[in-house]
Amino acid sequence: MTRFPFRSILFAPGNRVDVLAKLPRSGPDAAVIDLEDATPADQKAEGRAIARQVVADLTASHPDLSLLVRVNAPDTGHFADDVADGLGPGLAGVVVPMLESSAAIESVAAALDAAGHADLPVMAGLETVAGVVDARTVTTHPRVAWCYFGAEDYIADLGGVRTASNHEVAVARAQVAQAARLGGIHAIDMVVADFGDEARFRSESAEARALGFCGKLCIHPAQVALAHDCFRPTDDELAWAGRVVEAWEAAIARGDAAIQVDGAMVDEPVVRRARALLEAD
């Protein structure tokens, strides 16, 4: 399933009309109305009604903005009501947290179909130990178009300790990126909770991009422009890619299959990487 590779996904509380109305201002690739963590338990019903109205308003006023709703996890008492009452027409997808297996996504798909959302793609939250270890069973499901890695929930489930180094999530991030690749879908990297720490956001984004993630979850509008900058090929990368492709095509025309560019050997895998950079621009 091919979908747009979101560089930025901006989350906002489902019960805050004032905040939701501002979602388009920072120009995110996608915006998520969050009925899960950001909406208190005693305001879930209100959040569902708000979500439907905000989606109707924003799709009319900002048709280019991809809107999604994050429902509560399938094993909670809120999930069924979220699907029945919180999803309206015009959504680009639904974000489902805490997915761990093909059986879980099958159950989600059945619930969406029964509620009249048979064409709505899923962004899968991989944020538990089981979800990460068995990520391939989720990412290869035909209903899943994107996935994201949730580091905080993953470490809580693991019983580990969250550190600034990110060493404790290095393997999990790689597993999620690999599973996304096997499923032919796009992976979005974890949140930077300190939205004022630009250096950390840039550092994590560089790591994520190197691993194959297409973008980053954002919890503040200021992070959107950073995500767009960090997940865009640099001028130097594009210049290198252009030289590689040009030299390769000339070499193939004269019957060579291995050449040098900028003092480094270039063969077909390197050319594929160069072309991918040019296509991502």
Q: Would you state the pLDDT for residue 254? A: 82
What separation in angstroms does the CA of 97 have from each of 3, 111, 242? 19, 15, 40
Cα–Cα distance, 193 to 209 (Å, whole number): 19
Which residue type occupies 162? Answer: R
Which among 269, 281, 206, 207 is positioned nearest to 242, based on CA atoms?
281
Query: Which residues, 6+ apart, have CB-to-CB distance to 253 below 8 Å?
Result: none
Q: pLDDT tens for residues 149-206?
A: 999 999 999 999 999 999 999 999 999 999 999 999 999 999 999 999 999 999 999 9
Mean of pLDDT over the chain:
92
Residue 150: the pLDDT is 97
What pLDDT digit, counting tens, does each position of 201-252 carry? Answer: 999 999 999 999 999 999 999 999 999 999 988 777 878 778 888 888 888 8
Domain edges within the chain: 8-230, 235-280
Report the sign of the C-alpha dihedral through residues 34, 38, 43, 44, in that order: positive
Whether pLDDT at 1 is above 60: no
Angle between helices 235-253 and 268-280 in degrees, nearest 10: 130
Task: Tell me the pLDDT tens digit for each residue of 39-63.
Answer: 999 999 999 999 999 999 999 999 9
CA separation, residue 157 to residues 14, 82, 128 (Å): 25, 24, 6
Q: What does CATH list as the number for 8-230? A: 3.20.20.60
Contacts of 105-113 with CB under 8 Å at 24 or more apart are 105/138, 105/141, 105/143, 105/144, 106/141, 107/74, 108/74, 108/143, 109/141, 109/143, 111/74, 111/79, 111/80, 111/83, 112/83, 112/87, 112/143
Q: What is the pLDDT at residue 74? A: 96
Q: What is the pLDDT of residues 257-281, one digit of tens each?
A: 678 888 888 888 888 888 887 787 6
Q: For position 3, what pLDDT does the model report?
A: 57
Q: Is the whole-model pTM more than 0.85?
A: yes
Residue predicted with more confidence, 37 or 252: 37
